Amino acid sequence: MASAGGPLPQPWRELERELNPRQREAVFSAAPHCLVLAGPGTGKTRTLVNRAVYLVSVAGEDPGAILTLTFTRKAARVMLERLARYLGEEAARLRTGTFHHFCLELLRGCAGRGPVPRDFSVADEPRQLRALERAWSRLGLAGREPDERELRGLLGRFGAQRAGRSGEALSPLQQELFSEYQRLLRDERALDFDDLLDLSRQLLETDAALLAATRARWRRVLVDEFQDTDALQYRLLRLLVPEAGSSFVVADDQQSIYAWRGADRHNPERYRVDYAPLVLRLEENYRNRETILSGALAVLRAGGEAVPPLVSRTGGAGSLRLEAFASEREEADFLAADIRRARARDRRLRWGDIAILYPKHAIGEYLETRLMAERLPVELVSGRALLAQERIRRVVATLRLLRHGGDDEALATLLAARLDESAYALLRRVARQAGDSLRAGLERILRGGGRLRAARERWQAFQSGAGAAAADDAAWLQAWRTAFPEGFGLTAFLDAEAVGELPATAAAGDAGARRRAAEAAGERLVQLSRLPWLLEGIVAQLGNLRAGQAGRGLSQLVREIFLETADPEEGELPGDPAALPGLPALLAALREALRRGRRVLLETPAAPAAAGLLVDLLRGGLEPWHAQCLLPAGAAAAPADALRLSGDGQRLSLQGAGVQAEASGAPAALLVFRLYQLWRGAEHRPLRDFVVFDLETTGVDRERCEVVEVAAVRVEDGREVAHFATLLRPRGPIPPAATAVHGITDAMVAAAPPPGPALQGFLAFLGERDLVAHNGANYDYPILRRLAREQGLALPRNAIFDSLALARQLHPGEGNRLEDLVARYGVRAEARHRALADCRALAAVFARLQAEQLAALRRRSGREALAPAALAHFLLSGGESAPGPALVREDAALFTAGVRRLLASGSGWLDRLAPAAETADAAAAGEAAAAARRRLEAALLAAAGLTAEAPDLFTGLRSEEERFLALVPRFDELFLGDSLAAFLDFLALYQAPDLAGGGDAVQLMTIHAAKGLEFERVYLVGLEENVLPGYYALRSSDPEELAEERRLLFVAMTRAASALTLTRVESRGGFRQAPSRFLAGLAPAVQESP
């Protein structure tokens, strides 16, 4: 072996010292295949990482030839971070990820080959359920609609069949349903999770060249958590690694807890048979104190499990308790009090070192609410829950439509947000009746748009006339029958009962019920008649987001979508930082100094402690190489060319050799916050190079009207540099109504060229530049494309920015025609409704609209920095002793918002001011710190004009928008198209552990989500029958299901390093609860508290 020769290279020498003899044997193994059986806390990740480092540093393996397959993306990230510490930039060349991500990458390289669609997307679970629902409708199964549980069960059956883990074949009807489901996904160029694995298997099994190339690329394959792989993943491993290849596998069948989603705990045994590996067992536990480890092993023994020898090497006994309560309310109160006591005893214990684990999501949701009410910083780790938030779903749907315009489920999400529930349900019903996509249902409704509008107008006239005059329900119904003798007359293209006629169920009821049924049908008409307008809005929004993509990063795009999906002023902070005197110039000077690598020392003479807070605030918006140049004054020796950023009173100045800038207009700390806001807002750049175009036509019907004038203005760097304008001769006369609008007569166009040649020159002038037009996405641009098609010209494919959509977003409910905007902004306009004049007017209006949009984005930026800004302002104003002068309205609003965040669950800023302990008594020191904290909180509340009873106080720190945006930056390094695809892939395969450990807060998570994690202190909640073990496991005829529940408890217990508390209640969710049968196996390791 390499270790037996000369001196080992760095970084290997220090790594080798971390290994015990058995780990060292595994890492240095010369065997082609190695199976490492590693119990909890035995250093399996360290062993796996060291194996990779050994292969690169000692064995001389190319990092690009090493593939490491992990169970979660979080585990992959942790492994990469550890590898980077030892291998530096070389670590990035190792491929580390889950089986699904590896297969996704493989299929991306094979897109368009065989069964793999080109430019495919990954269908997440809601999209899969929607496709299966459509397949069900198309086949007309049993004349009924399936519920979600039934659909999930079918998806599970399909997956089990493909993975080869089901002994029962699909029935002919299920097979037909599965085929239709797959066809619908393929129509949208989408793959589901099982497709990623199964299509990869198919390609590798049928394409010998691909198999050979894949094996040649990945000469070393390492697999973590091998006991959690399923049959299909094992088949993939067999394809990737021939017997003559090299593999290194880590497993622990005592931690196999995923049989419910197909994991096969017998795969390690199959691996032994197929590869004849060297088998090593790691038996020294470096995580769990003796009492905890013994208790966890006792649980396994009580179930008859073969328990491997595990020895704790941590030192100390640790703590293992069982607490019983009458109710879940008492349980939550205990948790809050006990966590506080633990922190008081050990000031080094962070909130994030503590976890509360449970078997069911409902327990976590209840505890989150109760513990937040107790002002405990908690974070509920539930990845899909974040993506299930209505606002986040709309943002993700917009991203998906930007990527794939035919994404039916994404379109459904956006329409559901714009229609009321009954109208949306009708739309889905119409689509289901046709057994078709939502788009087909939309087209079916829109084809009858004229009758729909007529019926709506008749309904509204009836409401304000005969209906309003009716004396009672009976009279109202009589008037309704007179006005609508055949219902609303929409049966030709819509379902009569659902849309317009009196439902049969109400016909025999009382007059009031029948009237309410008819009124509900009328309101659905009103909603459905908005569909054309809603679709136009979606089309315009997507066009605006596509325009200018070349200079935009993914973070900027996502922030703009949040702005587009926001209600007016939602999430905006008061005031525009760009309006503060001198602040933009100061920002420019600071950015230039940091770009040149000059040190900047921030000082706050009135309260030096505030400087550290403000430095951390600013660093949050800086690139790492800039952040290291910004320091609090006194933190380091100042180089000769250092600048000083000084905050004092109502002034912020930047001074030093060759630099002098000053800003004012707000207290110093809030000026620093505004500086941060302005910096973050600068990420959003306006569209500076584009072409404004306009058409004048013979009518409003975009499918039939003719164009009589085209014009365009080319804008570069915000200035007009060229223009194009010409009249066109239509085939027929110009209607007088059209002439009345634009003033163009038949005589004016008599000598004009026909559309063909003129249009060719116009399209050449447009080129491939981004286009701007008012209502262009739904009027001018479709007409332009129709005209090009009719003339046999290449269709324009420019991105189109619709200024009408932007105006409606910024000024909802106001007049937003071009003439309205010209008047609002005081734009000087030439002859209105002539194409060139309108283009020039729109160019000026568009500049103002973009400026307003950027100001709105600035106002939405920086919320995450409010807490340190408020605390720094509090200190600079005298702190608890002197609250300082009253603030003007905008500054007061900022300070109040900052105080709310300071006191929010998960905020650690106040801990920065914790006084040093004046006593050796840990408990007394903890009580003193708690009392000081309460005094500080009271002073902050008083300064902000709040009380402890203020609504939404002490709740979650980060909004759903902030939590989602935190996921984006890692994808910003790619070009936008690539980063968007990668981000959507990430979201489709998103898992709860990807969120774990996001901040210093007590972690609330399910036991399954905690797999692979460890915490200093763990509270395990729900040790009751029908909870742990669960209801279905107790009633299953398969004893393996109950055994897996026992292993689940073992996994949960071994997450705790030094302290583990088990809890049970006599009543949970209103039901009496018996103690879990698993508790019997713990005696005498643990005693239940009285």
pLDDT tens string 304-317: 877 878 888 888 78
* Contact call for residues 853 and 563 (beta carbons, < 8 A): yes
Return the exposure string of 485-511: e unless at least 16 CB atoms fall within 10 Å of the residue's CB, then b: eebbebeeebebbbbbbbbeebeeeee
Looking at the chain, the whole-number percentage of residues with pLDDT higher than 70 is 85
Minimal CA–CA distance to 901: which of 858, 966, 944, 958? Answer: 958
**Mean pLDDT, rounded, for 379-403:** 80
**Mean pLDDT, rounded, for 532-555:** 73
| R_g of the chain, CA atoms, integer Å | 33
Torsion of Cα atoms, 942 then 943 then 949 then 950, to 10°: 160
Instruction: Classify residue 169 by its DSSP letter.
Output: P
Residue 680 CB neighbour total at 10 angstroms: 22
541: left (phi over 0), alpha (psi -120 to 50) or beta: alpha
Q: In what order do the strands lie in the sheet with 771-773?
A: 719-727, 707-716, 690-697, 771-773, 800-802
* Contact call for residues 267 and 229 (beta carbons, < 8 A): yes
Lowest mean pLDDT among 720-729, 986-995, 1063-1072: 986-995
Residue 212 CB contacts under 8 Å (≥ 6 apart), including other chains: none
How far is C-alpha 284 from the geometric centre of its chain's CA atoms?
39
* Contact call for residues 822 and 829 (beta carbons, < 8 A): yes
Residue 401 has pLDDT above 90, yes or no: no
Residue 359 has pLDDT above 90, yes or no: yes
Residue 746 CB neighbour total at 10 angstroms: 13
pLDDT of residue 915: 55
pLDDT of residue 504: 45
pLDDT of residue 514: 78
Structure tokens at 342: 């633990």
* Contact call for residues 174 and 157 (beta carbons, < 8 A): yes
The single-letter code of the amino acid at 950 is A
**Mean pLDDT, rounded, for 69-78:** 77
CA distance 669 to 649: 9
Between 448 and 230, the more confident residue is 230
CA distance 509 to 515: 10
CA distance 419 to 441: 15
CA distance 511 to 507: 9
pLDDT of residue 391: 83
**Mean pLDDT, rounded, for 18-31:** 90
pLDDT tens sequence across 835-865: 999 999 999 999 999 999 888 888 878 888 8
Looking at the chain, the whole-number percentage of residues with pLDDT higher than 90 is 29
Residue 1066 has pLDDT above 60, yes or no: yes
CA distance 375 to 956: 10
pLDDT of residue 663: 94
Burial of 181 (0-12, 13-18, 19+ CB in 10 A): buried
**Mean pLDDT, rounded, for 613-620:** 85
CA distance 55 to 321: 44
Residue 543 has pLDDT above 60, yes or no: yes
Residue in the block written with tokens 């609303």: 488
**Mean pLDDT, rounded, for 626-634:** 80
Quick check: bond before 1029 cis, omega within 30? yes
* Contact call for residues 1023 and 1078 (beta carbons, < 8 A): yes
pLDDT of residue 556: 79
pLDDT of residue 503: 46
Between 684 and 1013, the more confident residue is 1013
pTM above 0.95, yes or no: no
Structure tokens at 89: 């930039």
The single-letter code of the amino acid at 672 is V
pLDDT of residue 568: 47
Beta strands in 878-954 (DSSP E): none
pLDDT tens sequence across 726-763: 999 999 999 999 999 899 999 999 999 988 888 999 99
pLDDT of residue 305: 76
pLDDT tens sequence across 137-155: 777 765 667 777 788 888 8
Distances (CA, A) of 203 to 186, 198, 220, 326, 438: 17, 9, 21, 58, 32
Minimal CA–CA distance to 677: which of 593, 776, 549, 578? Answer: 578
Give me the helix-helix angle, 438-447 and 449-462, nearest 10°.
70
pLDDT of residue 960: 72
pLDDT of residue 278: 94
